[in-house]
Structures are given as structure tokens and as C-alpha cells.
Amino acid sequence: SSTSSEEVEEHLTLCWRSIISHAAQTSFKDPAQQKLADIVLHLQQRPLLQKAGQTCQVQGMAVWKDLPTFGYSIRDAWNLAAGENSDQNSKDQWINLNAFTALVTASAHSKTNDNPDLSLFCIWSLRQALEEAEASDVAVAATATWFVYAAPTIYDFCHKGKSFEGKLAKPGSTFQDQSWTGFSQDRWQAWKQKKGELQSPVSDSTASQ
């Protein structure tokens, strides 16, 4: 019934919010971040939820294989992005959330053919820190976690020219002359150059690509 589907959706959303909240409160340096990312992919491997012989679906996505509403839950969290004037706790949570999302992105790329696909959040964070005239320290630190935990994945997306519809992945203000619609080798070089000019409290020595 539609009611049961709605109930499943409600439970899933609460589940994702709990994991995302936990990730935001876990230091980006803590190995527990990878464990949280692993939990998400482990849930994905659970048997398909069945009801009356039919696979249970939420918004057209199979439970658990397609991780319904997980992407939406990440999007909701992204709306709370910390800025220069945010308190330190909000800044820390934003950096931690980026680390978690980077870990899920990298894990999904290597294990589940980019499902869930959170790569657009990568572009949004990198654009904010590396493609605008003024970047806050917290934006730079959040971006650094992507290079720490997902540099090879980002590089692969750029190498393959992974793109998005419309202006979702449009360039930032300092690159308005570019026609970027996603990841590209030109964009990778621009990010690399800009990243080299900025200093971040987050070490990305592991991202040497």
C-alpha cells in the first residue's frame, strides 16, 4: 500500500539523518568516518525489501539497493553549509560532513559503480573554495577533505569527463568564461593550481595525484 511505502520512506529518512548527523559530529580525522561510509554501502547490500512478492520501492527506488532518500538527506544537510561567520562547531560539522561524503563517493566509485552518486556535492564544495574570488577558510578546509579522501576518484571523474544536466555543475565566478558542465581535465588543472595557492588546516598530503 502507499501508506507502507510512506512509512518505509519515513524510517529511511530518519536512518539517513541519524548517520549524517553522526558523521557531522565525528572528526574528519577519525577512522570512524570510514566505518560510517561502510555502513551506508553495507545497507545497500541487504536483500531487497519485499512486500506481497513485490520489491518495496520508495520514489521509484528499490529498498535497499538504491538507498532511497539518502541523496536527498545529504542535500538537506548541504543547505546548512557553514560560512565565514558561522560558529566553530558549525564549521567543524561542515568539514566533517564533507569528509564523510567524500568517503562515500570514493567507496561507491570503487565498489558499487557510483551508487550512490554524490559527486555533484564534490563539485559544489570545490567550486565554492576554488572557483570564487573570495573563499572562506571553512570552504577551503571542507574542500581539502575531498582531496584527502577522494582525490583518485575526482581525478577519474575528470579524466572521463563526467557531466551533469543544465547548470548544476556550472563554473564559479572566476571561471565564467569556461563552459564546464561537470568534471573535466581542464577543471582538474584549475583546481590543482588554485589549491596550491591556498593553505588549509586539513592536510592533503595523501592526495598527491
pLDDT in tens, 78-102: 999 999 999 999 999 999 999 999 9
Q: Does any domain span residue 65?
A: yes
Task: Quote the pLDDT of residue 70.
Answer: 98
Identify whether 206 is part of a domain.
no
| DSSP structure class, residue 201 | S
In this structure, is residue 204 part of a structural domain? no
pTM over 0.85: yes
Find which of 54-58, 111-115, 119-123, 134-138 is predicted with most confidence, using mean pLDDT. 119-123
Q: Is 135 helix (H, G, I), strand (E, B) or coil?
A: coil
d(CA 196, CA 40): 33
- The residues, ordered by sequence, that sit 6+ positions from 117 with a Cβ below 8 Å of its Cβ are 71, 105, 108
With contact defined as beta carbons under 8 Å apart, do 108 and 117 qualify?
yes
Estimate the share of the chain in helix, then strand, then coil, as percent rounded to the nearest 5.
60, 5, 35
In a domain, 205, yes or no: no
Answer yes or no: is 164 within a domain. yes
Give domain status of residue 72, yes or no: yes
Q: Judging by beta carbons within 10 Å of its beta carbon (0-12, 13-18, 19+), is residue 77 exposed, middle or buried?
A: buried
pLDDT tens profile 41-73: 999 999 999 888 899 999 999 999 999 999 999
The answer to whether residue 203 is domain-embedded is: no
- Calculate what percentage of the chain has a pLDDT beyond 90: 88
Distance of alpha carbon 146 from alpha carbon 151, whole angstroms? 7
Residue 134: inside a domain, yes or no?
A: yes
Number of domains forming the structure of the chain: 1
Host domain of residue 15: 2-197
